């Protein structure tokens, strides 16, 4: 892989190159765009975590119900 190919293999390196040769306005735009993408990624990750926690809560509630039924007789 050539150095140029390895630079383009990474979206981050590509973005960094664009930011370096950009105007201040373009740099600010790219910073905002990158921040928004990071926020979207974090939101998606948190939604996945919440789904996992809900599933675990449902399992625990079911187990508690089963235990209660067993104790009742």
- The values of phi and psi at residue 70, to 5°, are -65, -40
Containing domain of residue 12, as a range?
3-72
Q: Domain count of the chain?
A: 1
The per-residue pLDDT for 37 is: 97
Place of tokens 């939604």: 47
pLDDT value, residue 15: 62
- Reduced to 3 states (helix: H, G, I; strand: E, B; else coil), residue 38 is helix
Residue 73's pLDDT is what? 76
Positions in the chain short of pLDDT 70: 1-20
Radius of gyration in angstroms for the set of CA atoms belonging to the chain, rounded to a whole number = 24
- How far apart (Å, rounded) are the C-alpha atoms in residues 37 and 63? 39
- The model carries a pTM of 0.58
Three-class DSSP category at 73: coil
The pLDDT assigned to 22 comes to: 74
Q: State the Cα–Cα distance between residues 30 and 15, nearest whole angstrom.
A: 8
């Amino acid at each position: 892989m050539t150095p140029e190919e390895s630079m383009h293999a990474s979206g981050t390196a590509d973005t960094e190159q664009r930011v370096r040769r950009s105007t201040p306005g373009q740099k600010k735009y790219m910073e905002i765009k990158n921040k928004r993408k990071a926020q979207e990624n974090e939101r998606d990750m948190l939604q996945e975590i919440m789904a996992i926690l809900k599933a675990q809560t449902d399992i625990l509630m079911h187990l508690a119900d089963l235990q209660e039924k067993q104790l009742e007789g």
